[in-house]
Structure 1
Amino acid sequence: MILPPSTPRFLALLFLLPVIPLLGPLPKKLKNPPSAHGILLDRYGKELTHFPREDYFRHQPVSLQEVPVHLIKATLAAEDKRFFNHPGIDYLASARALYKNTSRNHITSGASTITQQLIKISTPKEKRTPGKKLSEIMLARRLETRWSKDQILTAYLNRLDYGSHRQGCAEAARYFFKKPLADLSLAESALLAALPQAPSRLTPRRNPQAALKRRNWILDRLTFEFDYPSSKIEIAKSEPLQLANPKTKNPIPHLSNRFSEGARLSIDSELQRKTHAILGEELSKLDQKNVQHGALVVIENATGEILAFHGSSDFESSNGGPGNGAPNFRTARS
């Protein structure tokens, strides 16, 4: 039975159509922020070493107040220039992309806003179809009615994959530049903003030219979208790519594998460093006796806490380095 347009039932349905997408739950993954990787701290709270999560990713959570303005604007210029002005969807661009993709029966174009991208990375991976895109649009509208723009942007910057198993902008800054976010230059911020589009293809260590090309494109967009002075942009574009050494030496290799999660240890990191040098010096005096390794443990007599621990002189040595010469182990956990 087809109801005439004048009936109350039809009018009620017409009224509910724009409301229906706003009803229902948000993706469960959005409710729980990504977990941080494990960090081992010394007795004074200084980081000794860290290890990845079970999915091999490393992540440091960050608040929006800790993210520099340069990085926020570079991300907006790269991904969603109208983020603070739209309701979660760029309707014109989405309609154009949906029409093009439907007519060609496969995905050839996209117009995802930051809100839509956040929905995408917070839901199970599925084949890209027009139906999947429509679902993302509905969830993006729903999210925009429940979260503030700052909440959405914070979640986005914390969940992005920057490549090399680094999740979130804070961990990406640490890995690529060995810097806290606050110390990033304009060029470094633009480089980080470039990576999430294609983390593998744009990884600066394997494909520096592609990474620099997109970095410079984003820098140019900052002039166009946010009125950055062209002189400042040209200086940033001339900045060479200077990446930090990705390898970091673990000062407590014989201890760290005893922990599956973060902890604060009784180790004194400065004493650990000095005693490692002392151990090497003492062993060098025994070269003629073919002594290759030695162990060293420093214990605080009053408390029994371990202040320094070396199971061998060189953990990375292929000649017995991983072996632990201090088998009478007492936990270094405070």
Structure 2
Amino acid sequence: MKLINHIKKHKIKLAVLAVLLIAYGFCLPKQLFKDPTATVITSKNNQLLGAQIASDGQWRFPHNDSIPQKFSTCIVQFEDAYFYKHPGFNPISIFKALKGNLSSGEVKRGGSTLTQQVIRLSRKGKSRTYFEKIKEIILATRLELRDSKEAILTYYASNAPFGGNVVGLDAAAWRYFNRDASQLSWAESATLAVLPNAPSLIYPGKNQERLLNKRNRLLEKLLDNDIIDSLTYDLSLAEELPQKPYPLPQIAPHLLQKVALNQRGERVQTTIDKRLQEQANRVVENHYNLLKQNEIHNAAVMVMDVRTRKVLAYIGNTPTDNAHQKDVDVIDKPRSTGSILKPFLYAAMLDQGELLPNMLVADVPSQFGSYSPENYNKEFDGAVPASHALSRSLNVPAVRMLQQFGLDRFYHYLKALKLKDLNYNANHYGLSLILGGAESNLWDLCKSYGALSSTLNHYSENSSEYYSNEFVEPSFLASEKIDFGKKSADKTLFDAASIYLTFESLKEVNRPNGNESWEFFDDSKQIAWKTGTSFGFRDAWAIGTTKDYVVGVWVGNADGEGRPGLVGVQAAAPILFDVFDLLPNSDWFSKPYDEMQEVAICTKSGYRASPICDEIVTKHVQLSGLKTQACPYHILVHVDKTLSFQVNSSCENLGDIKHEAWFVLPPLMAYYYKTKNPFYKALPKLRMDCMGETSVVMDFIYPKNSNTIFLPKDFDGRTNELVLKIAHSKPETTVYWYVDDEYMGSTTAIHEFAILPKPGKHLITVVDDLGNERKRYVTISE
């Protein structure tokens, strides 16, 4: 009852008190500091990789929850010796300051504790009046009730001024001593502890003696308080003061730029391996110094851990100049792919059972409408094993394989790889898709090659099971977890055997001879790698993978200017292998036996062996490869005892006829194949005394169908002739030549015929003695 009466009697006072308590409770903002901060990225081990200055032009790192012990000790000893004892203000210090200021008639001493200084820093711009000082004391006591002493120290360390545009201990340690704050010596910590009290002392060449005296007095105090010993004191006195600010590290500037897009003003721990990044930077710089002599100014390198999909090195460009767009991050920019997509077509055809690794594919002059692909060396092999066509990056076989497989089917595989720069439909790209008709970027290509490697790893390590999310995006953020999805018996895109056989082919890529980096490359490293060169020598690619790492390289000019020599194997591959030399060796991929089966293979054709194949080898192939046809290039022929002529019962005793399996290619393939394969034995002729004919085939070598041809002139003004060529399975047969149904002449043995047609469209017809006929349209331009 008395309590109630007391409350009623003093209700106004109690109400006022309640209001004051509530105001006191809410007087302190939840977030003390709202200043913009620098964007800071660190390595996977939290080592500084780079920083981007805050939007207000200050080097102010994001708030750090920890503070090094040396600096903590120094700042307390210098600024506030009773910091751990007072409630936010020190009455004795305030009294002494007030007394001194009143006697002098001006403010000479503040008497502020570290807690009060934190409040003053957070209320920047406020005049230093006695009324403001009272506010600081109230807010300081509130801060002491809310946060720990250690937290208050971190507020101070992160926001105190250190001279010029340097704010906070973390930025100051790097700007003045070029190292992390945790690595500062006692002398360096003492230097930074005295700076916020008079930040102008740090300017080079100014007030160095005053700064030195303040530092040394603090060191002496540390000695007197038995915080440091005499030896440490003497060594600290001998240390020099900083003379000028250091530039902050810029070890991964383009990654910093990328992080700042979405996490500006934050401290971000990345997955970058600092040592590897620095070494790769030097590799790129060394090659850039060579490449720029050929006016090639830009390059990008990315290194990824296959097992974690974490980015270990990220070099978005060379250390070129602004005129050559040094700030452009090329890693995520679309560029023409060149031949870098060929392994995906090879794997897709294996996966669908339309190819075996060494199956012969045609490499002959080919024309698809108005599109006529050419090999880099302008030569043809006639027929070449598919694996060699891939490892040698032959263009004509690749286009023919794409036509056989189907443009839309292959496009479906590429879309499943999540190549984000594949923006048009399949018909837009046409067959040139496989030779660089589309665009992609280094990030997506490294992701795709890494996904293939990871698929193979997971299959071998998880009882022949796949993961449902193999083609997951890589990450450069340490905080992100990669989710590979659930295990499944079903493949994600390519089966493990197809990937393994593709890598086996890519492992056999021939390294060129020369004085370049190749001679330093350790051949014991087994790497599946591929190069690519875009049309017009604008983009050079090289991507390689092992069980553990993917390295991707792009070289070119950011503005798209082509340069002679800007080809994958010359410009990009040496960088690729120099970077691989920085990485640990990896074992080769395990063979996925559960997805493979031993099959008899025809040695000469690479097809499944037919009963009449003369040379057979047993190999492991993908299970889908069992659907492929048996060898079509071996036929059974009847020959005489010397194997020189074909014979039959009309001219030879049955007992003297030998039945031989003969490797026979179609005429156009055979024409070029025998130039590269001197042991190729053409089908023997039918002996003249025998009745009957063997099948005869002929085809044009030149011109290609619907070609438009320009006939150059000699120095004397005479127009050069057009030389027509055909291949005939029986060269001795006479062939008759017609132009627009007008007879021009005949050839025997060597079937080449020169004509001088007028400008316009012409029909060329050839007919042999046996009635076989071929036609070709050409257009002669003026």
Return the TM-score normalized by structure 2. 0.35
Structure 1 gap segments, 5+ residues each: 1-7
Q: 1:280 to 1:192 in 2, by over 3 A?
A: same
After superposition, residues 161-180 of structure 1 pair within 5 angstroms as: 161-180=161-180
> Does 1:199 pair with 2:209?
no
Who is 1:4 aligned against? Answer: none
- Listed one character per residue, the Cα deviations across residues 107-150 of structure 1 (whole Å, up to 9, x for unaligned) are 22210011111111111422211111111112222222332222
Structure 2 CA distance for aligned equivalents of residues 71 and 226 of structure 1: 16
Does structure 1 conserve the Cα–Cα contact (< 8 Å) formed by 2:84 and 2:149? yes
Deviation at 1:182, TM superposition (A): 2.8
Who is 2:38 aligned against? Answer: 37
Q: 1:93 to 1:44 in 2, by over 3 A?
A: closer
Identify the structure with the greater helix proportion: 1
Structure 2 CA distance for aligned equivalents of residues 136 and 246 of structure 1: 35
Who is 1:186 aligned against? Answer: 186
Who is 2:727 aligned against? Answer: none
Deviation at 1:187, TM superposition (A): 0.8
Radius of gyration: which is bigger?
2
Q: 1:227 to 1:297 in 2, by over 3 A?
A: closer
Match of 1:314 among 320, 324, 338: 320
> Does 1:59 pair with 2:61?
yes
Who is 2:157 aligned against? Answer: 157
Structure 2 CA distance for aligned equivalents of residues 184 and 256 of structure 1: 25
Deviation at 1:92, TM superposition (A): 2.2
After superposition, residues 43-122 of structure 1 pair within 5 angstroms as: 47-56=48-57, 57-64=59-66, 66-68=67-69, 70-101=70-101, 106-122=106-122
Deviation at 1:164, TM superposition (A): 3.6
Structure 2 CA distance for aligned equivalents of residues 42 and 182 of structure 1: 16
Who is 2:290 aligned against? Answer: 281
> Does 1:138 pair with 2:138?
yes
Secondary structure at the residue paired with 1:23?
helix
Does structure 1 conserve the Cα–Cα contact (< 8 Å) formed by 2:160 and 2:167? yes
Structure 2 gap segments, 5+ residues each: 1-8, 336-440, 444-473, 476-782
Secondary structure at the residue paired with 2:84?
helix
Higher relative contact order (CA 8 A, sep 6+): 1
> Does 1:23 pair with 2:24?
yes
Structure 2 CA distance for aligned equivalents of residues 276 and 216 of structure 1: 43
Does structure 2 conserve the Cα–Cα contact (< 8 Å) formed by 1:280 and 1:313? no
Q: 1:73 to 1:273 in 2, by over 3 A?
A: same
Identify the structure with the greater strand proportion: 2
Structure 2 CA distance for aligned equivalents of residues 299 and 109 of structure 1: 57
Q: 1:144 to 1:250 in 2, by over 3 A?
A: closer
Does structure 2 conserve the Cα–Cα contact (< 8 Å) formed by 1:21 and 1:141? no
Equivalent position amino acid for 2:320 in 1? D
Structure 1 CA distance for aligned equivalents of residues 145 and 255 of structure 2: 48
Deviation at 1:104, TM superposition (A): 6.2
Who is 1:3 aligned against? Answer: none
Q: 1:105 to 1:174 in 2, by over 3 A?
A: same
Equivalent position amino acid for 1:315 in 2? D
Q: In percent, how many aligned pairs have the same letter?
A: 25
Equivalent position amino acid for 2:285 in 1? H
Deviation at 1:252, TM superposition (A): 5.7
Does structure 2 conserve the Cα–Cα contact (< 8 Å) formed by 1:102 and 1:130? no
Does structure 2 conserve the Cα–Cα contact (< 8 Å) formed by 1:27 and 1:123? no
> Does 1:295 pair with 2:283?
no
Does structure 1 conserve the Cα–Cα contact (< 8 Å) formed by 2:78 and 2:193? yes
Who is 2:539 aligned against? Answer: none
Report the count of equivalent residues: 312
Equivalent position amino acid for 1:309 in 2? G
Who is 2:246 aligned against? Answer: 246
Structure 1 CA distance for aligned equivalents of residues 27 and 325 of structure 2: 51
Structure 2 CA distance for aligned equivalents of residues 77 and 243 of structure 1: 25
Q: 1:271 to 1:217 in 2, by over 3 A?
A: same
Does structure 1 conserve the Cα–Cα contact (< 8 Å) formed by 2:161 and 2:168? yes
Who is 1:125 aligned against? Answer: 125
Structure 1 CA distance for aligned equivalents of residues 153 and 81 of structure 2: 13
Does structure 2 conserve the Cα–Cα contact (< 8 Å) formed by 1:61 and 1:170? no
Please, which moves more after superposition, 99-108 or 124-133? Answer: 99-108
Secondary structure at the residue paired with 2:300?
strand
Equivalent position amino acid for 2:290 in 1? E
Does structure 2 conserve the Cα–Cα contact (< 8 Å) formed by 1:29 and 1:122? no
Secondary structure at the residue paired with 1:143?
helix
Secondary structure at the residue paired with 2:284?
helix
Please, which moves more after superposition, 143-152 or 100-109? Answer: 100-109
Structure 2 CA distance for aligned equivalents of residues 23 and 204 of structure 1: 45
Structure 2 CA distance for aligned equivalents of residues 325 and 230 of structure 1: 52
Q: 1:202 to 1:168 in 2, by over 3 A?
A: same
Secondary structure at the residue paired with 1:127?
coil
- Listed one character per residue, the Cα deviations across residues 136-190 of structure 1 (whole Å, up to 9, x for unaligned) are 1122222223322222222222222222433322332222222223322111111
Structure 2 CA distance for aligned equivalents of residues 147 and 323 of structure 1: 43
Secondary structure at the residue paired with 2:240?
coil
Q: 1:225 to 1:107 in 2, by over 3 A?
A: same
Deviation at 1:213, TM superposition (A): 1.7
Deviation at 1:94, TM superposition (A): 0.9
Structure 2 CA distance for aligned equivalents of residues 231 and 325 of structure 1: 50
Equivalent position amino acid for 1:281 in 2? L
Structure 2 CA distance for aligned equivalents of residues 46 and 224 of structure 1: 35
Structure 2 CA distance for aligned equivalents of residues 45 and 234 of structure 1: 32
Secondary structure at the residue paired with 2:316?
strand
Deviation at 1:40, TM superposition (A): 4.5
Please, which moves more after superposition, 120-129 or 247-256? Answer: 247-256
Equivalent position amino acid for 2:298 in 1? A
RMSD of equivalent CA atoms? 4.1
Deviation at 1:299, TM superposition (A): 6.5
Q: 1:191 to 1:94 in 2, by over 3 A?
A: same
Secondary structure at the residue paired with 1:50?
strand
Structure 1 CA distance for aligned equivalents of residues 40 and 442 of structure 2: 17
Return the TM-score normalized by structure 1. 0.74
Please, which moves more after superposition, 75-84 or 247-256? Answer: 247-256
